[in-house]
Amino acid sequence: MLHTDPIAALTPEVIAWRYHIHSNPELGFDENDTARFVSEKLRAFGFDEVHEGIGGTGVVGVLRSGTGTRAIGLRAELDALPVVEKTGLSYASRNEGVMHACGHDGHTAMLLGAARLLSQSRAFDGIVNFIFQPAEENEGGSMRMIEDGVFKRFPVEAMYAVHNWPGVKLGTIAIRVGAQMAAVDNFELSFEGLGAHAAMPQLGDDPILAAGAFVQAVQRIVSRSVDPQTALVVSLTQIHGGNVGNIVPGKVWLQGTCRFFEPGHSDHCQTLIGEIARGVAAAHALKATLDYKKGYPPLINTADATARAVEAAAATVGRENVSTEFSPSLGCEDFAFMIREAGGCYAWIGAGDVGPGEGLHGDRYVFNDEIVPTVLRYYVNLVEQTLPAS
């Protein structure tokens, strides 16, 4: 078992790696420099194999020890967000309009730290695949890696990942069996007819009226079509129509999102949104066009992997600081694809309370470096307990 001294000694270097990644953020599938940084570190650590370009800019490092053939995977994300950083940090983004506002810089640096520790100790028996994925935020980079054969080339019995979680008490880890993050579908809808002078609306149609009717009517999906104890959110996030003050536009465009834990709600939402849109369009003598896009599935932690993660977390922060009974988040996470494919567990690492604009995806978000030794210890415990040395 690794003692805390190597972790404490390595922590400042891991934080320095994070600062470097944070200063040089890259958007999904463009993480070329970040992927190169990761690959160079893994090779310097003496990894048995390092593979690049998987699913775009993804990197996989393979670490073996002993004679065992059992394998697990550990995953971190490489990508940043299209956010203008306003933290004022000395190591703030040098790439204007791009920011690590979700902590992926920390996740990548901490997984590199675990790679360094485990490559030095090799105190396990089996195979650990360190998977650094591109484009988690919106483009489904984990699915791209799966489609590129990541689990055929590097099979695992389970996948594990962590996410820093502002709002959860510092020094705690939250893990639950079953749904921990929601599925997300997105849709775009347009109502289209004839425009007209605002003083003579009878000469045209009015898609703005239709959009208003739709915004109200679509909420019956949540309030009247599913069990009220079932988590489902339908939110309209954009409405655009017209550009002149005295013209009723001929077209209005809307965008929205659906969040849920029950996989069957995807088809349900798609069907009812289409029916409501067509009904509203018919009532207003308009044409409705719906583009419904199925997105990330719900993230469902599997029982066996979660049990192992809970034991590793207990060994890290004490069982009294491991939460297994809490409400899941209606946020989404594309690690769901990997768990769906291979089984696994996703843990929230408590990062403490934050202020306005300082939460995930906020322009003043700052990763809490106090969690770094906790996550290093968690990963080491997880590997050594799951693949015990003989």
Going from the C-alpha of 197 to that of each of 33, 100, 204, 240, the distances in angstroms are 53, 47, 8, 18
Beta carbons of 72 and 163 less than 8 angstroms apart: no
Q: For residue 307, what are the contacts with CB-CB under 8 A and spacing of at least 6?
A: none
Give the SS3 label for residue 238: strand
Give per-residue burial for 244-262: e unless 16+ CB within 10 Å, then b.
eeeebbbbbbbebbbbbbb
Mind giving me the DSSP string for 289-310?
EEEEEE-PPPEEE-HHHHHHHH
Q: Could you identify the residue written with the tokens 């843990």?
A: 347
Distance separating alpha carbons of residues 187 and 202, to the nearest angstrom: 30
Rounded Cα distance between 378 and 70, Å, is: 19
What is the length of the chain? 390
Alpha helices (H) in the chain, listed in sequence order: 4-23, 32-44, 104-121, 141-147, 150-153, 207-217, 220-224, 265-283, 303-317, 335-342, 372-386
Residue numbers in the known binding site for Mn(2+) are 102, 104, 137, 163, 361
- Dihedral sign for Cα 326, 332, 338, 341, please: positive
Q: In 3-state terms, the chain is what percent helix, strand and coil (to 5)? A: 35, 25, 40
- Quick one: CA dihedral 368, 369, 370, 371, positive or negative? positive
| Residues of each annotated binding site | 102, 104, 137, 163, 361
